[in-house]
Structure 1
Amino acid sequence: MTQTYKYREIYLKIKQDILSQQYNSHEKLPSKRQLANDQSVSINTVKNAYEQLFAEGYIYTKERQGYFVEVLNKLIIQDHHVSQPLNNNPTQIKSSFRYSLSHMTTDISQFPIDFWSKHVKEAFSTFKNEMSEIPIYKGPLELRKSIAQLISYKRGVSCYPEQIIVSSGTANLLSTLFKTLSDNQKIAIENPGYSRMRKLFIDMGQEVVNIPLDHKGLSVNTLKTEKPDFVVTTPSHQFPTGTIMPISRRIELLNWVTEQNKYIIEDDYDSEYKYGTDNIPSLYSLDKNDRVIYLGTFSKTLMPSLRVSYMVLPYPLLYKFDLATETSITDLSSINAYALHLFIKSGNYEKYIRKMHHIYTEKRELFLKILSKEFKEDITIYDMQAGLHFLLNIKSTLSYKEIEQKAHDNSIELYTLRRFMVEEPANSSIKTLIIGFAKIELEDIEPAILKLKEIIYN
């Protein structure tokens, strides 16, 4: 038995006796020498135990008189309270799947960890003074400058670094933005659309209206009826349908928010990956009246766990935001922020995107080829040549829940349109699946499709 253990043992025993009121308030404790003799330990061991009790406020000292018990009320423990072990039910732990067809994942097998590690080390040496101070809420200016340059030539977003706020996620950015607004807002969200964002606004107490889609994207006619204050949209690759909003609908939408003095929140969540076409210009690039709030993320290009997203605010909202957050502290990892800045500045970010574009193109083409071969006329593929997922309409007598459950039972991570609808989809012979192709390995694509075929036709 070590001396450290004896000190803890004495400390814990006296603490428990005090809490259970075995000692009276102001009662004198045994002297250090007496307790050391009784416990057969050194005086220093007792001294350490008493000092810990003193530090936590259980006892106090009187000069040359010793240690005494503080006045403590008895801790109330309700009769019905029984300590329960944590529920380690395996169903509460995220399942590990053999095949992932998730739209939320990325392929990080090719991530240039050596370059990233190099930039982390460089960030420590280059920005050690900045990282030793409390970070500003908007994120490091260096990173915001890099992002401003990146989205200027990639997405046509012309802005100043001062307009950019970098955070650990889109949800944090939007939560902070709407806290700066004095009144509850009416927010329009695409249906089907990003369910987590819908839930975020509802949890914030905002009024949410769901806007249906047509072949051009969200319905402006419905917006005119509902008259929301903010419109959340994914125009470059609608989530989850993949629809690319044409210029006619973009102009119609911009004109409406300009006339009504409202705002658009453009979620440009996976703008980097296009297949067979050039990048689709952002809605922000068309806006000449400060009506668009632009959201971007590095979750799809690098990895979701990096947790770096950004928001570009128009000037009418920027002053309020800066005023409301001037004493706030960011939750963004400073070391990741500076490393990302160096990653972009060095050109390694662009090299990685080009490499991953080639890999995703190969996976996507193989997916489309094998799906068409195996399902033939029983499927319709909505291939919008963008992003890391596509929609698949498939003939099936199974319900959405049955498809999801059977996929889970066969170790396939699969999501259906049901996840993104406000209401339960109508029961029909055609079911819509969301097929993500980023994480799955090339050699696993055919086995995964064959297993899906077995599920659908069984």
Structure 2
Amino acid sequence: MDLTPFLDRESNNPLNQQLIEFFKSNMHNGRIKKGMKLPSKRHLAKKLLISQTTVERAYDQLLAEGYILSKARSGIFADYEELFLIHSDPKTAELPVQDINVLTNEIIDFHYGHVDSSFFPFSAWRKSVVASLDKYSEKLCRPGDVLGEIELRSLITEYLYQSRGVNCDPNQIIIGASTSYLLQMLCHILNTGFKVGFEEPGYPRSREIFELNRKEIIPLPLDSEGLRMDAVKKNIPDLIYVTPSHQYPLGRIMTINRRLELLKWAADNQSYIIEDDYDGEFRYSGQPTPSLQALDRENRVIYLGTFSKSFLPTLRISYMILPQSLLKKATEVTTLFKQTVSSNNQYALAEFILNGEWQKHLNRMRKLYRKKRKIILEAVKNELGDKVNIHGENSGPRILIDVYLELSEQELIQKAENHGVRVYPVSDSYKKGSALKTMSLGFSGVSEEEIKRGIYLLSKSWGIK
């Protein structure tokens, strides 16, 4: 950066302190952003006509307080993550060092959809991308299949049969850039008006897709076994959206008896069930429960899956498996919509699966998530104690905590953010609202040390310790 601090040589404030205040002010105001390269000590001293020692003293202090970092043979970089717009001249200079560090540390983000980059097999993925370019170069020069490349759809068919018991033909699979996109397409395939039975609470984005398409949402309550059938039978929806393998957001697993009861009801009433199996790969105890689609004998289940939770969220590859009765209309709609996932990414993923790298990656992630799950459960019990209730921990890379403190949901979130921790409320999953203050703590994208540190900071921010 070509910075020009204006120094007051008549001031009683030392020049090195003026430099410190200049950099802090510009970082707090967002003019100097995290990762920006700063001038070298020699360059800045020469430009400002001051001694290099003065610049060194300023940089040393900024380094000690966590505002900058020095990389060998690379230079000096801003390391301040702008969390608040703090106009702190001179208040910032008066803050204790530990409080400044809270403001300058990177946020520990317990987001559910993140991936820990240190464990992602970038080398194997790079090889698959290169191999797919060589193998499918001719096909890449032509428009792809509107349903998705057959090479990938065939491999998904095999994988789902082996892992989830799903029975389908590759031609029943539609590839799409996200579950939301596939639901939007489904609304056009089922183009008549219908009532959607939706889990209460349930995945808000999917609910909003249906509402955007002017479908009537019927909230259906849950019990310990899953979707309550008395509510289903009372409302008789045309379509039911469920997340039976890891209910979103409560984390409950639908029992086999409830699954069979739901399937029988759907067959008797000629209704469809959307089974969103968004992280069915991750379960920590007991035998995997068969998917609804695997148990379905009457072709009433529409199955949704994604690679975003188990692989890369930015890859944007999801898939939908339709019953045979919907394929004709689906082909008409997909021809109109075209394919939203690049053929290049589809072929690369096919290579990744074909070479066994996908299974290796899943095995590593299952082992890693079991370890992280154990760490976060221990940390929550030790740091938060009886002030919270833990649930939803039996599958998926996330836990939920009900918080028993005299703080509002927004206060809990803001106080955590002020201490460098980001947590997420479950309240937006309820259509009718909830009296509970429940927070989601996703651990897939944070390191083991960040988990421990983050839960400690939560206890501190919420006044538990």
TM-score band, normalised by shorter chain: 0.7 to 0.9
Q: In 1, distance between residues paired with 2:229 and 2:264?
A: 10
* Aligned match of 1:98: 107
Distance 1:374 1:211, change over 3 A: same
Counterpart in 1 of 2:453?
A: 447
Mean alpha-carbon deviation: is it higher for 412-421 or for 161-170?
412-421
Aligned AA (1:180): I
Structure 2 counterpart of 1:447, one-letter code: R
SS at match of 1:310: strand
How far has the Cα of 1:422 moved from its partner? 1.4
Give, in angstroms, the shift of residue 325 of structure 1. 2.7
Q: State how 1:245-284 maps to structure 2 within 5 Å.
A: 245-284=254-293
Which 4+ stretches in 1 moved above 4 angstroms?
A: none
Asked whether 1:431 is paired with 2:437, we answer yes
Give the letter aligned to residue 446 of structure 1: K
Match in the other structure for 1:332: 341
Match among 160, 181, 188 for residue 151 of structure 1: 160
Moved more, 379-388 or 159-168: 379-388
2:34 alignment partner in structure 1: none
- Find the residue that maps to 2:197 and give its secondary structure: strand
Report the equivalent of 2:94: none
Letter in 1 for 2:220: I
- Residue in 2 that maps onto 1:55: none
- Correspondence 1:131 to 2:140: yes
Q: For the structure 1 residues 308 and 349, does the alpha-carbon distance in structure 2 shift closer, same or farther, using more than 3 Å as the test?
A: same
Larger Rg: 1
Q: Contact between 2:416 and 2:462, CA under 8 Å: does it hold in 1?
A: no
Instruction: Go from structure 1 to structure 2 and tell me whether the alpha carbon gap of 1:383 and 1:451 turns closer, same or farther (over 3 Å shift).
Output: same
Distance 1:193 1:379 in 2: 22
Which residue pairs with 1:410 in the alignment?
Answer: 419
Question: 2-side partners of 1:390 and 1:183: how far apart?
Answer: 38
Matched with 2:237 is 228
1:41-120 mapped onto 2 (5 Å cutoff): 98-120=107-129
Does structure 1 conserve the Cα–Cα contact (< 8 Å) formed by 2:250 and 2:392? no
1:297-312 alignment to 2 at 5 Å? 297-312=306-321
| Other-structure match for 1:200 | 209
TM-score, with length taken from structure 2: 0.75
Change (3 A) 1:97 1:413: farther
In 2, distance between residues paired with 1:445 and 1:326? 46
Matched, 1:287 2:296: yes
* Superposed displacement of residue 97, structure 1: 5.4
TM-score normalised over the length of structure 1: 0.76
Whole-Å Cα distance in 1 between the matches of residues 232 and 451 of structure 2? 41
Q: CA RMSD in A?
A: 2.0
Q: Distance in 2 between matches of 1:375 and 1:113?
A: 36
CA distance in 2, matches of 1:310, 1:253: 23
3-state SS of 1:197 partner: helix
CA distance in 2: counterparts of 1:333 and 1:326, whole angstroms = 16
Secondary structure (helix, strand or coil) at the match of 2:434 reads: coil
* Structure-1 separation of matches of 2:463 and 2:179: 39
8 Å CA contact 1:108, 1:302 repeated in 2: no
Q: Is the 8 A contact 2:147 2:173 kept in 1?
A: yes
Aligned length: 365
Q: Does 2:365 align with 1:356?
A: yes
Please give the alpha-carbon distance, in whole angstroms, between the structure 2 residues aligned to 1:305 and 1:182: 30
Q: Encode CA deviations 1:353-403: one digit per residue, 9 max, x unaligned.
A: 111111111111011112112233333211442101122123111011111
- Separation in 1 of the partners of 2:447 and 2:284? 19
Unaligned runs of 5+ in 1: 1-88
Q: Kindly indicate whether the alpha-carbon contact (under 8 Å) linking 1:396 and 1:457 is maintained by their aligned counterparts in 2.
A: no
Counterpart CA distance in 1 for 2:270 and 2:413 is: 43
Paired letter, 1:372: K
- Change in 2 beyond 3 A, CA 1:257/1:121: same
